[in-house]
Structures are given as C-alpha cells and as structure tokens.
Amino acid sequence: MNVLILTVFLSLLLASLFLLFFVRERRTQELGSPEQDALRPFDIETPQDTPRR
Amino acid sequence: MNTNHNTKTIVYDDDSVRKFMIASITWGIVAMTAGVLIAFQLNYWQMNGKILEIITFGWLKNEGIEFLTFGRLRPLHTNAAIFAFVGNMMFAGIYYSTQRLCRVRMASDLLSKINFWGWQFIILCAAISLPAGFTRGKEYAELIWPINIMVAVIWLIFGANFFWTLGKRNEKSIYVGLWFYIATIVTVTMLYVVNHLSIPTSFTHSYPIFGGVQDALVQWWYGHNAVAFFLTTPMLGIMYYFVPKAANRPVYSYRLSIIHFWSLVFIYIWAGPHHLLNTALPEWLQSLGMVFSLMLWAPSWAGMLNGLLTLRGAWDRLLTDPVLKFFAAAVTFYGMATFEGPLLSIKAVNALSHYTDWTVGHVHSATLGWNGFLAAGMFYWLAPRLWNTKLYSNALANAHFWLGMVGILLYVASMWVAGITQGLMLSATTEGGTLLQYPNFLDTLQAIRPVMLFRAIGGGLYLAGFGLLAFNIWKTARSGNAVNGTVEVAIDEDSHETAGDKRFYAFLNPPVLYALLILFFVLVTIFGDGAVFLFGIIMTIFFCIAAIAHFEVSKAAWSEWYTKLLDHGFAFSVLTILAAAIGGAIQIIPTVTVQRADNIEGRIQIPYTPLELAGRDLYVSEGCYNCHSQMIRTLVPEVMRYGDYSHLGESIYNFPHQWGSKRTGPDLAREGGLRSDDWHYWHMLNPRDVSPGSTMPNYPWLFEKETKVSQLPKKIRIMRMLGVPYPIDLSEEEIQAQVDEQAKEIVARLAEKGAFVEPEKEIVALIAYLQKLGSYRETGEPIEASEPTKAVEPTEAVEPSNEVATAE
C-alpha cells in the first residue's frame, strides 16, 4: 500500500514538474534556436503552368 | 497573386531564372571555347589566324588576325567566364532561392527584366570591344568606361530589386544563403566603383585615376575580391540553399555557418596584397596580405566542411544522383582551392609560384571545379523543376561529370608541373650561384610546352562535358512545360520589420562592441611602434579574453541578439558593409593619401614623350601585360636575370600600372635600351625570326595602322591632371613636332639596318615605348618632362647579366 502511495506521489510530482517546466518554457519568448532556420529551404510548392503568350 | 483571408498564393517569377540559366550555359560555352583556343595558342602560335592559311593550303593569306591574339582574347575569356558564365548562373541561383527564402515574388518584374537584358547587352558589348582592342589594361577590369557605367547601373538595379524583395519578405528571419547574397551585392558595388574610377580621354579610352603602386594595390584589392565576392560568396549562398535541397537534409551546422560568414567577409578583403608579394609594394602591406590569406584557411574550410557534412547520410545517393555528385565534387574543389590559395600566399612559396602557370592552375581548379561544377549541379537540379519534367538523361549527366573531372585534373596537374618546373628553372643558378643556369627565358618555356598541351586537352574535355550539359538541359526543357512555383503563405502582420525600437540594439550590443574594440587595438598594434605597439597587443589580448568570458557567462543573450539581428535586413547589411570595408580602407587609404614624392625609393620615372605615351597605349590595348610583367621582384634570381629590382618610383607615372600577373614571356621592366630598334621591328613582324621557338603572335597590323596622334593633346592634359609633370604650356603643334622628330629618328635608325617603315605607323610608337622602359632619374635630379629621349642609354641598372630571348 505504501508503495502505491509513493508511486502516485512521485508520478504526480513528476507530472507537476513537467507541467511547471512546460508552462515556463511556453511563457519565455525563446522558443526557437538559430538551428531552426536551417529548415527554411524546405518549403513545399506546387508548379503552375506559365501563361501562354 | 490572390488574397484569401489570411493566406496568400505567391507565384514565383521563375521565368527570369530560366532566362539567366540559358544565358549562363550559352556564355559558358563561349568563355570555355575562348579558353581552349588561347590555351592552344600558347603552344601553337599559328592559332592566331595563320592557321587559316595552313588549312586552306595558302588560299587565305594571313600572317595573323589582330582580333584573335592571346593578348586580346585572354581578357575576353576571363571576363566571359567571370561575368557572363558565373554572373548569369549567380543571378539564376539568387533569383530562384531568394524568392523561396523570402516567400515572396521578386519585388519588380520590370527590374528583373532590366537586370537580365541589361546584363546580356553588357556582355555583348564586352564580346565586341575586347577583341577590338578597347581595354583599360587592368585584369578583370578591362571593360571600357561606358560599359563600366552600364555595369554599375545594372548592378544597382539588381541590388534594388533584391533589397526590395527582402523588405517585402513573408518570412521573419533571414536565412544564411541570403546573408551571402547581401555581402555580394554591397561589396561588389564598393570594389567595382573604386577600381573603375577613371578619367575618359575619348568614348573608348580612359586613364585610371590611380597609377603605379597605388593602382597595383587597388587593382588587386579588387581583383582578389572579385574572386571572393563574385565567385565565392554568391556561390556559398547557392551552396547553402541548393545542397540541403538536393540532399533533402538541413545544413550540417547553422551555427558554423554564422562563423563561416562573418569571418569570411571580414578576412577576405585584406588578402589582396598577396598578389604583389616580393614586389615594390611596401612590406607592411605584403605582410598583412600574407597573414590574412593564411587566416582565410579557417573560415573557408568551415564552409567546405559544412557543405560536405550536409551530405551526411546521403553519401550512397552519390552513386545514382548526378546533382549530388556535382555538388560533392564542387565543395571538395572549394576546399582544395582554398587550401592552395593560402599556401601560394606564403612569401617563400609565392617566390616560386608567382608569374608561373601554378597560379593559373589554382584559379582554374576554383573556377572549373568549384564554380563550374556547382553551376552544373544547380542546373541539373533546376531544369526538371523549371520545366516540370524529368532530367532528359542521367547517363549524359554522369558522362559530363567524368569528362569534366578528368578535364580539370589534367588541367590542374599539368599547370602544377608547368609552374613548378618553370619557376625552378628561372631561379636555377650554376654551381656557386654566380650565373643563371638558364639565362634564355625561352629555354624554360620550351621545357613546359608538352605539359601546356595537356592543359589545352584538359580544358577541351571540360568544354566537351559542358556541351553535354547544354544538350541535356535543352532536351529536358523540350520535354516539359515551363512552370512557375507557387506557394500558400500565411500572412503574419508582425512578420515585417516593425520592431524599429530594437534597431539600435542590432548595432550596440556586446558582440559588435567587442569586435570593434578588438579591431581597434589590432590596428594600434599594426600601425604603432614601441610602447604603443605593446599597448595594442596587451589590449587586444585583454578584450579577446573579456569577450570569451562574457560569451561563456551569457551565451543565451548573445544568441538572442543574433536571432534579432536576422530579423533586421537593414542592420544586417550595414554590419556586413562595415566588416567588408574595414580591411580595404586600412590598406588603401594610407597608400593613396601618402605623398607620392616621399614614397619612391630614391628613383623617379622619367615621363613618357608624346610618342612613347602613344606607344604605351598600344601596348596596353594589345594586352601585352597578359604575358609580360613589368616588375622585377626583390629576389636574387630575378635581379640576375632582369637587372636591379623595380623601385616604387619607377612606375609612378604608369596609368594603369603594368606589373602583370603572369610571365609567358620575360619581364620587360628594364627592356629599354637592351636591344636595338630593328630587333624590335623584326620581332613584332615575326618573333621567331629573332627569337627561335617563341610562341608570341605576329603583329603585322602594327606596320599598317597609323598612330592616333590627334588624341595625344587630350591624353597629355589628363596625364597632367593625374600628376604627371608635363609642361603646362605644351601646345598641339609642339606635341606633333615632338612626335615627328622622335619618329623620324627611330625610322632613320631602322633604315640604317635595312628595316623600312613610315614614321606614322604604330610600330614606331611601340618601339619608342619599349625603348623607354626602365628609364628613371635618381631623386634630386631635375625632371624635364616629355623631352624626346634619344636612343636610351642603358644605365648600370639595365645591364643585367642575361641574354633574354636574344637572337642567337
């Protein structure tokens, strides 16, 4: 029984910590890193026929 | 462009990309064909028109065609390769990637069209004017002043279109490829304008405002950075966009690309003087050029490794994908060329390599290997996308790759062998070191002729491969339909540069301030003596350590600053200009503002007489500087071969300087008085009559065309404006009288030896000029401007112990 309480307690603790850090991370403006820009060339585009002259 | 609530459909202008690509391929073939032709001319002088007589069995009598000499076609080859082939390829790459990286169509279709057609018109003008002998006589800056103005205007139109597009972008952050494009546009503008400052004497002729050492420094600041900012930075931008696209994985390290960009832009500009090592250029400039060239190793290899490692996990595709094959080879050649460049910039290595084929091999490994293969990879990747089809033939693309690769390797290896062999032979002395082992320059030329032939064959193979590309792209285009890329863009009102309040933060922040402080104290070290020098070193070290410590403590803040900077196109461009301008300013401003009279090493050039000046303009117009230098370096074998080393003051009145960069023939700095007038007469008529084995072309038209004396009064007036001490009251009649008198004396001397020519012919002016080369006065002696020199008495300085290419 004690083990169950300990498990629930630790799980809640970890979940709370996770939530806390998540909220903190979301609130900071720093969501990006310079490396993120490296993905810029990978846009998906569709070819469209040029108008006939 | 349709607007749909908060999203917009952007249709990219790919028509311009297609046009630039086709132009690049077309001009590429022209440039390479000219290259192969002049490579063969170096082995077979008959390729200069005489061949027509041979292949028609004498039906077409021809001793040589003036439009086809090496001196005139070599500038056409280099200009076509740089500005027409790579230039158009660069525009294609920039137009394609900028639109996609900014997620916006080019700002103005009209400006794009003016950019394209204007650039092609410029190239057409160059293709006509260069073979016709209209040139400024400065390497890669040969085009005459009206074309220079057109280049500047079209370049600014391109710049305006680019920055306008950047301002309209629907993507907040500026991608690394765009940084390199920004650096290209701002730096090329600066380089081009400064090196092309000239005073016109007619519609087709001008004198540069810099002369002698100043002109040499400005020229190689430009010449070297044409390589840096026209042939390298835009290519790196293209690499950072197209290599990840082709490999389908992001660039290996974006942070590394930040270091790559800023260090490259800052360091490259300082390296120009490495083209003038061991010459009369002041020592401090030579040392700066060498040290900064060595420093270039690091950023260049950072970029090379970043490019190659982007292919991580995709190496297997090299077996099947010709695009990746070309890209991998191109980036590898970038690494090789940027290893070889600093190596050749070490003064001791340069003593051997400079003026030889080694340098020629080096630039071709970069142009053919790095630029050419990158262009090929990009075209093979683009064509199927621009015409919405498949590449016509992978097998042909592979055949192109291997033909090109074998071609480059043959080219580069033969140039190494030729350069090192000739360099060693030219400096070889007999036992005891008192005499030259090969006093006749032609002996060293004959020794390398077989390897020079391999160069021509290598170039031919590369051209053949490029022909396959042209066919492949043409068939690909025929099999599909021209399409424009479209993309849905979410409109974000905050995406534009609205954060004006943060603009100053882009300039005033720790990284920028530390960089400026460190640079300031480096300059104190460079220019200071004694205690100031020591203070400079200590403060430089102090601020370096302080910057590192500050960075370690506040990493996140520094990174945040850079992210913000990438949102501000204007601030980014200003910092780029600053980084690129500093090196040039520090080298050039002291050199051009120094009193020329104080900087002549005890000797001052005797100004040319009017006839000699006309002869000099002919020398420049025929492009003699492409094979003959006028700079005896401060090296013992050179002094033994050509006479006393060239002092700064000896070329002070040369607008433009003619120090040269390659010796296919001997140096001419002290040619005056070394040989008789009639020797030059016969030599120009057929060099082999007096120099058996020479590969120089015949110049029969110099004996038919007349010297343009009527232009001389204006030319002399402008020379006087530039500081040449011609008498202020020199009238047109006096000029004509001086020309007549000197020409008649030369003609009389020629007639005594059985060489007959009229005094008005160009050959007379050219002989007058050649006999003047190397004449100077010691400081303190009075300068009598424009007195017609008699047959120049060889001074003790022009009595070398050599027998350069004399008639045996």
What CATH number is attached to the domain comprising B11?
1.20.210.10
Please report the pLDDT score of residue B492 as a whole number: 63
Please report the pLDDT score of residue B805 as a whole number: 37
Residue B607 near residue B255, CB atoms below 8 Å: no
Please report the pLDDT score of residue B790 as a whole number: 40
Interchain contact, B485 vs A48, CB within 8 Å: yes
Q: Which residues of B touch A39 (CB under 8 A)?
A: 250
Q: In this structure, are B639 and B520 located in the same domain?
A: no
**Alpha carbon B769 to its chain's center:** 27
Q: For chain B, give the mean pLDDT.
A: 90
Q: Which residues of A touch B14 (CB under 8 A)?
A: 50
Residue after which a domain boundary falls, among B121, B151, B173: B173
Interchain contact, A40 vs B11, CB within 8 Å: no
Which conformational region is residue B786 in: left (phi greater than 0), alpha (psi within -120 to 50 degrees), or beta?
Answer: left
The backbone torsions φ and ψ at residue B531, rounded to the nearest 5 degrees and listed phi first, read -65, -35
Q: In this structure, are B724 and B796 located in the same domain?
A: yes
**Alpha carbon B405 to its chain's center:** 24
User: Would you say residue B384 lies in a domain?
Assistant: yes
Please report the pLDDT score of residue B602 as a whole number: 84
Distance (Å, whole) CA B344 – CA B348: 9
Residue A36 clears pLDDT 90, i.e. is over it = no
Residue B803 clears pLDDT 50, i.e. is over it = no
Q: Would you give the DSSP letter of residue B798?
A: G
Q: Nearest Cβ partner of B244 from A30, A33, A41?
A: A41
Q: How many helices (H) and strands (E) does chain B have?
A: 30, 7
Q: Which domain holds residue B10?
A: 1-173
Q: In this structure, are B462 and B527 located in the same domain?
A: no
Distance (Å, whole) CA B38 – CA B78: 11
Q: How many CA atoms lie within 13 A of B181 on its CB side?
A: 33
The sign one gets for the Cα dihedral B331, B333, B337, B343 is positive
Residue B800 clears pLDDT 50, i.e. is over it = no
Q: How do residues B245-259 score in pLDDT, each as one tens digit?
A: 999 999 999 989 999
Q: How confident is the model at residue B551 (pLDDT cuts 50, 70, 90)?
A: confident
Please report the pLDDT score of residue B789 as a whole number: 44
Please report the pLDDT score of residue B678 as a whole number: 95
Q: In this structure, are B639 and B713 located in the same domain?
A: yes
Residue B265 clears pLDDT 90, i.e. is over it = yes
- What pTM was computed for the model? 0.89
Please report the pLDDT score of residue B377 as a whole number: 97
Q: In this structure, are B430 and B548 located in the same domain?
A: no
Token readout for B212 is 């002698």
- Considering only CA atoms, which of B775, B779, B773, B782 is closest in space to residue B804? B773
Q: How confident is the model at residue B494 (pLDDT cuts 50, 70, 90)?
A: low
In chain B, % of residues over pLDDT 90: 74
Search chain B and give the residue with CA nearest A52: B482
Residue after which a domain boundary falls, among B151, B173, B195: B173
Please report the pLDDT score of residue B596 as a whole number: 63
The backbone torsions φ and ψ at residue B623, rounded to the nearest 5 degrees and listed phi first, read 70, 35
**How close is the nearest chain A Cα to the Cα of B336, in Å?**
26
Q: In this structure, are B468 and B339 located in the same domain?
A: yes
Q: In this structure, are B77 and B138 located in the same domain?
A: yes
Using alpha carbons, list the distances in angstroms from residue B459 to B33, B377, B415, B466, B629: 9, 19, 12, 11, 25
Token readout for B713 is 């009064």
Give the CA diameter of chain B: 92
Reported ipTM: the value is: 0.73
Residue after which a domain boundary falls, among B150, B173, B196: B173
User: Would you say residue B361 lies in a domain?
Assistant: yes
Please report the pLDDT score of residue B502 as a whole number: 60
Task: Give the SS3 label for residue B785.
Answer: coil
| Omega before B656 within 30 of 0, i.e. cis | yes
Residue B270 clears pLDDT 60, i.e. is over it = yes
User: Would you say residue B237 lies in a domain?
Assistant: no
Token readout for B230 is 């026209």
Interchain contact, B482 vs A49, CB within 8 Å: yes
Interchain contact, B101 vs A45, CB within 8 Å: no
Residue B799 clears pLDDT 70, i.e. is over it = no
Cross-strand bridge partners of residue B441: none
User: Would you say residue B620 lies in a domain?
Assistant: yes
Distance (Å, whole) CA B797 – CA B795: 5
Residue B31 near residue B85, CB atoms below 8 Å: yes
Distance (Å, whole) CA B547 – CA B506: 17
B109 close to A (CB below 8 A): no
Interchain contact, B175 vs A35, CB within 8 Å: no
Helix axes B373-386, B394-427, angle to 10 degrees: 160
Compute the average pLDDT of residues B702-714: 94
What's the number of domains chain B is made of? 4
In chain B, % of residues over pLDDT 70: 93
User: Would you say residue B236 lies in a domain?
Assistant: no
**How close is the nearest chain B Cα to the Cα of A24, in Å?**
16
Q: In this structure, are B373 and B514 located in the same domain?
A: no
Q: Nearest Cβ partner of A43 from B103, B254, B560?
A: B103
**Angle CA(B297)–CA(B303)–CA(B304) in degrees, nearest 5?**
80
Q: Nearest Cβ partner of B254 from A38, A46, A48?
A: A38
Distance (Å, whole) CA B757 – CA B634: 39
Cross-strand bridge partners of residue A49: B483
Q: How confident is the model at residue B788 (pLDDT cuts 50, 70, 90)?
A: very low
User: Would you say residue B153 lies in a domain?
Assistant: yes
Distance (Å, whole) CA B807 – CA B45: 18
User: Would you say residue B335 lies in a domain?
Assistant: yes
Q: How do residues B381-390 score in pLDDT, each as one tens digit?
A: 999 999 999 9
Helix axes B569-593, B145-167, angle to 10 degrees: 150
Q: How many Cβ atoms are within 10 Å of B780's Cβ, its own excluded?
A: 7
Please report the pLDDT score of residue B278 as a whole number: 94
Search chain B and give the residue with CA nearest A31: B560
Please report the pLDDT score of residue B137 as a whole number: 94
Q: How do residues B357-380 score in pLDDT, each as one tens digit?
A: 999 999 999 999 999 999 999 999
User: Would you say residue B88 lies in a domain?
Assistant: yes
Q: Which residues of A touch B485 (CB under 8 A)?
A: 45-48
Q: Would you give the DSSP letter of residue B315?
A: G
**Angle CA(B300)–CA(B302)–CA(B308) in degrees, nearest 5?**
100
Burial B475-498 (b: 16+ CB within 10 A, else e): ebbeebebbbbbbebeeeeebebe
Q: In this structure, are B522 and B474 located in the same domain?
A: no
Token readout for B573 is 């461009």
Instruction: List strand residue ranges (DSSP E) for B569-684, in order.
Output: 603-605
Residue B91 near residue B161, CB atoms below 8 Å: no
Q: In this structure, are B539 and B617 located in the same domain?
A: no
Weakest mean pLDDT among B81-85, B107-111, B575-579, B745-749: B575-579
Selected residue of A30, A36, A37 to mutate for chain B interface (largest B Cβ count, 10 A): A37
Distance (Å, whole) CA B425 – CA B443: 9
Q: In this structure, are B435 and B515 located in the same domain?
A: no
Q: How confident is the model at residue B630 (pLDDT cuts 50, 70, 90)?
A: very high
Q: In this structure, are B476 and B513 located in the same domain?
A: no
Please report the pLDDT score of residue B279 as a whole number: 92
**What Rg value do the Cα atoms of chain B yield, rounded?**
28
